[in-house]
Amino acid sequence: MVTSSSSWARALVQISPYTFSAIGIAISIGVSVLGAAWGIYITGSSLIGAAIKAPRITSKNLISVIFCEAVAIYGVIVAIILQTKLESVPTSKMYDPESLRAGYAIFASGIIVGFANLVCGLCVGIIGSSCALSDAQNSSLFVKILVIEIFGSALGLFGVIVGIIMSAQATWPNRA
């Protein structure tokens, strides 16, 4: 709440909730795609090099790239969901606690999804690189390392679930 003695609190609540929402949506898609791209290049460079000596690994190891790509798709989906939660409120109600809450909910949801997908993409990428190199040496290792990757990609899913639950609370005042 606004108090006369705490200038930081006053400064924060005077920022429009739409600013926070917009930043949240941007982070959700932007940082997820960063994670996906990072993971894809880590896997891709090892895969290309290893496939020269062992061409049989190429088709199977594209699964790693697909897992990384899924991370970017999660980011897109959540960004689309979040932007449907944006509604207009009358100017008189823009700084009400209700609308601040809605703005913060969208912001938090965006950050959750963005950073969860960033680390998930990184994780799947690094494991995918090791998977390609091991598969080139010994093909029985592929399925075992794939299990690790599946656990890794669950991290992005956790982020998406919590993000969607968070954004379900984003109810703006004139609908309340």
Partner 1 sequence: MYGFEAMTFNIHGGYLEAIVRGYRSGLLTAADYNNLCQCETLDDIKMHLSATEYGPYLQNEPSPLHTTTIVEKCTLKLVDEYKHMLTQATEPLSSFLEYIRYGHMIDNVVLIVTGTLHERDVQELLEKCHPLGMFDSIATLAVAQNMRELYRLVLVDTPLAPYFSECITSEDLDDMNIEIMRNTLYKAYLEDFYRFCQKLGGATSEIMSDLLAFEADRRAVNITINSIGTELTRDDRRKLYSNFGLLYPYGHEELAVCEDIDQVRGAMEKYPPYQSIFSKLSYGESQMLDKAFYEEEVKRLCLAFEQQFHYAVFFAYMRLREQEIRNLMWISECVAQNQKARVHDSVVFIF
Q: How far is the CB of 133 from partner 1 (least distance, A)?
A: 6
Residue 105 vs 136, nearer CB to partner 1: 136
- Residue range at the interface with partner 1 (CB under 8 A); choices 97-105, 122-130, 146-154, 165-173: 122-130
Q: By C-alpha distance, which of 151, 108, 129, 141 is closest to 65? A: 129
Q: Which stretch binds partner 1 (CB under 8 A): 3-11, 29-37, 44-52, 148-156?
A: 44-52
The residue (of 41 and 142) whose beta carbon lies closer to partner 1 is 41
Between 89 and 146, name the residue whose CB sits nearer to partner 1: 146
Stretch 2-41 residues interacting with partner 1 (CB under 8 A): 38, 41
**Nearest approach, Cβ of 151 to partner 1 (angstroms)?**
17
Tally the C-alpha atoms within 13 A of residue 143's C-alpha that lie toward its C-beta: 1
* Cα(72)–Cα(85) distance, integer angstroms: 20
Q: How far apart are CA 111 and CA 8, in angstroms?
A: 22
Nearest approach, Cβ of residue 67 and partner 1 (Å):
16
Structure tokens at 48: 């290309």
- Residue 90's contacts (CB-CB under 8 Å, 6 or more residues apart) are 174
The residues near 22 (Cβ < 8 Å, ≥ 6 apart) are: none
- Candidate residues 122, 124, 145, 166; the one interacting with partner 1 per rule CB under 8 A: 122
As a whole number of angstroms, the distance between CA 55 and CA 50 comes to 8
Q: Could you say which of 31, 106, 132, 166 contacts partner 1 (CB under 8 A)?
A: 132
Closest to 116 in 3D by CA, of 14, 53, 36: 36
By the rule CB under 8 A, 137 interacts with partner 1: yes
Site for partner 1, rule CB under 8 A: 38, 41-42, 45-50, 52-54, 122, 126, 129-130, 132-133, 136-137
